[in-house]
Structure 1
Amino acid sequence: MTERMRPLLAGNWKMNGIRDCLPEIKAIAEGVKHPLSEKIETLLCPPATLLYVATALCSDSPLAIGAQDCHQDVSGAHTGDISAAMIADCFGTYVIVGHSERRRDHGDTDELVRAKAEAAHAAELAAIICIGETEDQRLAGETLDVLKRQIAASVPDGATAETTVIAYEPVWAIGTGRTPTRPDIEAAHAFMRADLIARFGAEGKRIRILYGGSANPRNAKELVGIANVDGLLVGGASLKAADFLAIYGAYEQLHA
């Protein structure tokens, strides 16, 4: 039997957070110390300006710290960018690549996302590769085609469960308070699982597939119980320790 990875609950702070927010990070770090942390992995991705101090705050906590993007090159004349090696140098262990906001606002293509994921792997970081359809694509019935295309082009050939996480974020649901129906999520995640197994064999059974898109304390209990949902990528609800820890608590009944 193939061993499944622990579910991953990841928070993406996006362009939010200054030093005044450090108590929230500390509270999250302290809140995930109870025995549930052995069964659920937790991660917070604050702005790059807080990476180093965040890893210091979490040095005795199971809470991992990651970044929200990286450049595909190790170094060079790339003003304003940070490399995967720089993230690792700040003791980060994860990096998000291909988020829809990067794809939309910065023109990140599937090929560029793959290059960034490869750079993350080279720096011994785990890459969270985001994929998902727009509302127009959804209404046109193209959701599964989009997911298949993005997995094929964005995920490196050498991906493993230890180095790679897939995050399904319907673009139309991010920050809107809208979520797909349970059957829609089940269908999308089952499709992605089958696609990963077809490409990576037994390893495809272990690669975690997160759901993102307006995940919050109110819907977390239902979301974490859906088949092939191996965790959540949380946006706005991760900014407050109380909300993030409430979502974390949704796993308690599953592991009671």
Structure 2
Amino acid sequence: MSNLKQQLTKCVNADMQNLTKNTLDQKWSNLCVPISVTTLLRFAINKDLYFHDKRNHYTFEKILTILTMTVYPRSLAGLNLNPKKEEKDFQTNDIETLLERICKKTYLSESGWEIVRKQGYPEIAESTCEFEKVFLNENFVFTRPLTVTGVILFQNEMNPTFHQMTLDRIENGEYILQNTQFSDEHPAVIRIEQTRPYFHPSYEFVNNLCIQTQNNIYVEGNIKLRFVNQNRLMRYNKWYLLPQAYSLTLTKI
């Protein structure tokens, strides 16, 4: 555990209101999914269960280690040096699969949340863990932090890059996102307008939408959003979001 803590570096005093101001740098790893989920878990432990970790048994580093080494095993390569390609490939996570593993028990194992909950002393109170899928849109109302998927198309690339981030809040019509793979071009805090188009993986869907409606606006009930695809309307080096996002809630039994 101490070895992992030595490997981690952070951007301090980031402009966060609901999440920690110290943002972890994932460096060369592909661990953005468990990092974002760890962020949601720590928020829920504090806000839903009113648990204050006075003995540091539920630190970010400890929860991340449990998620990546026990709950849903993944390599930690890349946090302190350039990993091999096969190591990075093995780190790739599907966000919904990881959330399912955390919230639900399997035939052979208790839920990931139970594993996390029992690691410290005193243990966190018995509680259930649930996640909910929501859909971002121009009229979306923020209630709690979400794990969201950012999408960017780099110059001279044919396919976009996907990166899991955490939504801290909505402010003045902008999503304020915690980014864990930051650089001069892509800082630890990323702002995206709610009115910016969202990414859709199907070129046919976006193209047909443009043909049928004379624009790329999709409306269903009170949900309104525009869509782009890497082959239709998407700009280089600009962040977009998938509309699907997830919240995580802990409820004391």
What TM-score range do you get, normalising by the shorter chain? under 0.3
Greater strand percent: which structure? Answer: 2
Q: Which of the pair has more CA radius of gyration?
A: 2
- The higher-RCO structure (CA 8 Å, 6+ apart) is 2
Greater helix percent: which structure? Answer: 1
Please, what TM-score do these two structures have when normalized by structure 2? Answer: 0.25
